[in-house]
Structure formats: C-alpha cells, structure tokens
Structure 1
Amino acid sequence: MIWNEKIECASRDEMAAIQGERLKQTVQRIYHNIPSYRAKMQEIGMLPGDVRSIDDLKKLPFTNKTDLRDNYPFGMFTVPMSEIVRVHASSGTTGKPTVVGYTRNDLNMWADVVTRTLCMAGVSRNDIVQVAYGYGLFTGGLGMHYGTENLGATVIPISGGNTQKQIQLMQDFGTSVIACTPSYALFLSEVMSDMGIDPADLNLRVGIFGAEPWSESMRKEIEAKLKLKAIDIYGLSEVIGPGVSCECEHQVGMHINEDHFVPEIINPDTFEAVEPGEVGELVFSTVTKEGIPILRYRTRDLTRLIYDKCECGRTLVRMEKCKGRSDDMLIIRGVNVFPSQIETVLLEMSETEPHYLLMVEREGTLDVLKLMVEVQEQFFSDEIRQLEGLKKKIKHNIQSLLGISVDVKLVEPKTIERTAGKAKRVIDNRKI
C-alpha cells in the first residue's frame, strides 16, 4: 500500500516544483528568525530573495551539529516557545545535547511521514506493532508510536529493555511487527533461544530496524534467526527523527520523503556535490518544519542516491544503506576502516556470533586495532589449537579485506555487554 500516491509517485519535475516553493518559504523563516544562520548568509552576500528554485539550494551555507550545540538550547528555534508543543534531544555523549522542538504541525507531519514508512515496510492497519525503541528524549519510540497510530495499526508502547517481557507480549498479544535497533533484535533472538521459544511459532513477520549502522550480513542473520523480513529505516533527530527514509518490501534502498527532507550528496573533504550515483556524505534540508527547520545539515553518514523508479511504483529518491559515517571512520595506519566492514567479515563466518567490540590503542608511535568477538558455543573449546586456528582465520579474512592486521581476542558467548539502544562497537583509546 502507498500512503500518499500523489507525492510518493510524483515525477521529478513535480517534486522539484514542490521542493522549490517550500524551500523559498523555509529560507525566509530561517533568515528572519535565526541570527546565527542569517550571519552565515550575510557573510557570503546572500539574501532570501536569491533563492528562487530548488537549484539554488547548493548556494546556501551548511549547518553542522556544532551550530545546534552553540545555540543550545533554543537558539535555532524559529517560533516562540508558546508554539512548541514537544522537545526532544540527543544523548549529548560527545558534548551538549542537540535540542529539537516541534510545533503541532510538525508533529502531524512527523506522524504522516512515519506512516508512509510503515506502509513502505508492508505494515497495515491490521498489524500489531511492538515499539521497542526508547521513549523519552530519544525520538525513536514516540516517532514510531504516533506514526503507527496514524496508520490505524495497534501499537504496543513497551520501549526498550525488559527483554523477557518483550517476548512474553509477542506471544500473548500476537505482535506482527517489531521496531527496535538491529543489535537488540539479535539479542531478542538469543533470549528466545534461551527460553526455548521458536520465533517461527510467533506472529512476527516484519522488523523495522534503525538507529545504528548494520550490514547486509546482519540483515540475513536477523531474518534467519527471527523468521521475519528485516526492513531498514533511517532518521535523525536534527531532521525529524524516524521517518526520513525507509526501505520498501523490495529492500533495494530507502525511499526518502523528499517533499519534506531534501537530500544532497557531497564530498566531505571539498564540500562539492559528487557525481550522480557516487558515494559521499548525506546532507539534508527540511522544507516544511516550523519549530526548527534546518538547511544543508551535514549528517556525516556516507551513502549514495538512486533515482530510478522502484518496483514498488514509488518515484521518491532512494538512499543506499549507509556505509558508515565520515566521523566514525577509523584511520588505522593510513587505512580507512568502518566497523561495518569488520562486521561483514564476522557474519560471513559460521564460528562467530554477531557481537564484537573494536578497540584502538596507540602503542608507541603505532596504532593497533584490537577485536574482541564472541565465539558460538559449539566452537568455544578449551583446546588451544582450535581457538588459535580460528583467531588466525579471522585475522586473515580481515587482512584480506582491509589490508591491515588486527589483534583478535576470542571470548565466550554473552561476554560482550548487550543494550536495548545503540550497540557500542568502537572504543578509541588514542590521544589524537
């Protein structure tokens, strides 16, 4: 089912016209209400009237996470607080949290785009959707919640954690759709196994997973273990939360709701647009938000855009599954390394579990990459020769893919800490 066929199946010219009109209004709103962004425009000699179509978007200055933090808490809002009906914020683990505010119209729009993504995933009003994303300041839980209600499906607002209760409700309530992080989905499968529950005996048929990077290999792992179709959803609080884009049932890229969120792909070093179809950093401009509209926001996520019409009939541009983040990328002895590359190697091996931790240390003048990975129970043995052979195999496979050596430590199943939220995959102990 397509929720809004007129928009989701619009021609490129029709979409450009919609985006252009909305962009002009948004630039006016931002220029006259956000002093810091107005100063950026004045610095390059640009006025709101210089924006006449969507083609002029590339002339505008970028916005970074530091802009939101420098204007903490409400300096990026374009309406008075009397019009803000909800506030969300990031965790702030790397500095001040980024705060976002929503007007009533913003919340209605947010619910609508999440409803679109649910339809893309094959969810209907007949489904029972268990939302195991965190509720609270994190946008995941409430974003999925109101989109599900807007669709008319039944929502179970359980939030994250309390894993045995999650599984009990799946059994008792007949949950057909689970929404959570991919790493938590794998943890659910582990606990089900410990409880002697076969996922095939549940009603689960669709999983909507996001909030952290995950590979195609992990998708296959989740689908095999939970007996469902694993759909990738993308969002970030600075843009709206969940609902920015989502895969359809064909799983060939995430359809972007580009009448609200206009994407660009740039070279993160030169800031110039890349050639169509090339991988670069994803940049978003919101063209309908009232509370905190944002222009050319650098997400740091690396992907590419696909403009071909999808088999589902939607013409909305698609973004590939993110290959990593430009700021999460590890540079080890001159080699660019993404955790997802390590994950792909591990998931292609039958002996390891999809739970790992990367640690980067500086020993003398050299950077050393260390990998802690869980071994499947049947392969974990007291026989040193067998474990040494597995370590060599992992080291060889990573060396073959990335061209760097890694110090591997094998640990028993369930050694690495689990979390209902984003899995922590990297610890960088270098003082750079």
Structure 2
Amino acid sequence: MQAQSGAVPPLSQFQRNAGLFAAIASITAVGIALSLGIPLLSFDMNDQGISGGGIGLSTAVGAVASIVATPLAAPLARICGAARALAGAILLLAIGFPLFYLFKSELAWLVLRFAFYGALTTVFILSEFWINALAPERHRGLIMGIYASVLSAGFAIGPMILAAVGIEGFLPFAAGSGLMLLALVPVLLAVKASPVLDGQSKAGMLRFVFLVPTATFAALAFGAVESSLFALFPVFGLRAGLDVTLTSGLLSAIAIGNLLMQIPIGLISDRVDRRLMLAVIGLASAVLIALVPMAVGWGLVLLYGIVVVFGGLSGGLYTVGLTHLGARHSGGDLALANAAFIFMYGVGMLGGPALSGFALDAFDPYGMPLTLAVILAIYGVFAFLRLRHADKAAVPGSRT
C-alpha cells in the first residue's frame, strides 16, 4: 500500500465508536463471501468431476487477484475516500457473487474469481486500516479480537446458509448477496469518521514484510490454511464419508471456534509476549489439524470438538499477528505494514489450496489436513527461532 495514512479528522467519542463499528461491520461481508462462496463453488466443481488439484488451482486465482489489488487499495481510497472506496468494494461483492450462478464456464469463473477476490482484498485492507487508525493503543488487542470475532460470525453465516438452503439453484447466491448488502449501511452512515490518506510514503511495501516477519509470516500461514479449508475441507469431508450437512457443519465449527476465542486471545495478547503466543498457536494448531483424519472415526462429538478448538486457535494467528504489527508501526508505516500483511496473506492463499489440493489427490483424502499441519508446524518453529534470536540479541524494542 503506497500511502501515508493515519490522519483522522477531529472526532467525538461517538463518531470514533461509530467509525470502528462501521469498519468492523463491513468485514462481516468478507466472512460471508468467503465462507459461503468458496465452499459453494467447490461443491459445484466437485460435482462436475474436477480434481482436488483443479479446485485448488482455481481458488489460487483469487490469491493472484489479492496480490495485484493490494497496492491499488490506497490510491483508490485517496481518490474516493476510505469509506466510499470500502462501500464500493462491498457493493461489487454483492453484485458479483450471483454472477457465478449465471455463468458456468471455467473461463468466466476465473474472471469472476479475479474480480471477486480483488474486491475482497480491498475490503480487508481498508477496514483494517480504518480500525487501526481509530483504535486506542491500550485496547488494540481487544479491538482486534472483536474484529476477528465479527469476521468469524460472517464465516459462520455462510455454511449455515448452505446447510439451510442447500447448494442447488440460485437461492444460496441470492441470500449471500443480500447479506453482503447489509454491511453497506453502517459504512455509509459513518463516512465522516473515515480516516484520511495524505501524501505518499517513500518506502516500498515489500520492505515491511521483513521488518516484523513473525507477524507477516503468521498472515502467510493463516492465508494458506484458511483458504485451503474453505476450498477443500468440503471435498475432504465428502471423500472421508461425511454428507453435505455434516461437512458444512465442520466449516461452521471452525467459525464458531473463531467467534468464541478471538476476544479472549486478543485480551491475552495485550498482556503477554505476542511472539511467544504466535509460536504456541502455530504448533498447537498443527497438532489439532493432524488429529482430524483420525477423529473422523472417533465420533462426531470429538471431531467437532477438535475442529472448534482448532478454528479458534488457528484464527489467533491473524488476530495476534495483526495486533503485533499494529503495535510496532504507526502512521504511514502502519498503512504499508498492513498492506504487507495482506500481501503475505494473499501469497498464502496462492500456494495453500494448490498444495493441499494435490496432496488431497495424492493421499486421498487425508493429504489435505496433514499438509496444513506441516505448514502450521513450520511457522511455529520459525516463530520460536525468531523469538530465541531476539532474546539473544537483547536489543530493546527490536522488531521481530
């Protein structure tokens, strides 16, 4: 994101709270779009006989769009205003989603996925920029936890829609589009609380990837895991012997874990070393997702329990990573750092589904969850090594 940011017009406490509410509410549209759209399209592609690798590669097109859109969000917001640009991106999501039903060719879907994910990325960047600009430092972890919980609520709505209305016909597309439109209302009402983007930063966005790598690589790991789950967990569930309702229920369980655990995780992150917390989250999440293939045969209670806790813990990578990032940067650097965070999330989205899809085909059906376990374990070890290196360096305030 090539912009200076953080300039907030003089606001009353009510306006500040309204701005935070608007930014957080807008992210609900993202949760609905991801959790309804990706599994719905995956079910459709699976019914057409497309391989797991093909589904993963199709989803990876969205990651390319995310990477392309990342540096474009700030100029758009500077021209239109952050709130108006955010509203436009949400509107594009709501209009674009039903088009997947109307156009069934693979080429049309690739074009629609590219546009859809470009809009999703813009919503992520602008809403997180808005939240970071308005959030008081002493409550940053709590506010990021609230943000992540609302995002998770959006994630929970999508699979519930699939379970209620099924995957056939236009109805699930129309329902998702209508819910996205609801997120426009608070954004349009809080235009005056929108932060202003002024000037241009001389630093490049990619430089910020390596200034706080424990945070940005958390986004990379989470992007790979989350996109793989939404793209391929439905296929894994079906191939493991679960029906559509139970598979959609597993996606809801992940979202419920996120919804329940992000505020406590955010509060804890305000009180402990966030680097250590990220390392523990990575390793614990790796163990839990590795248990899922075995838990399919242990009964639904244990399976759902493991998935709920996994969903909450793995979601902490994003919450704590973003909080850690926000505590290390401010002003224009914060805008660039946030863009770098989303960029790495997009890189994870690019590689995760493709790798997990090929693993799903090669070690049917358990290759997908085991691949995610490896990704999370590698990140957890990396975070521990970064923490150990920083402790040895013993440089006060060093960025890791």
The two structures share one fold, judged by TM-score above 0.5:
no
Q: Which has the higher helix share?
A: 2
Q: Normalised by the shorter chain, which TM-score bucket? A: under 0.3
Higher RCO (C-alpha 8 Å, min separation 6): 2
**Structure showing greater Rg:** 1
Compute the TM-score of the two structures, normalised by the length of structure 2: 0.27
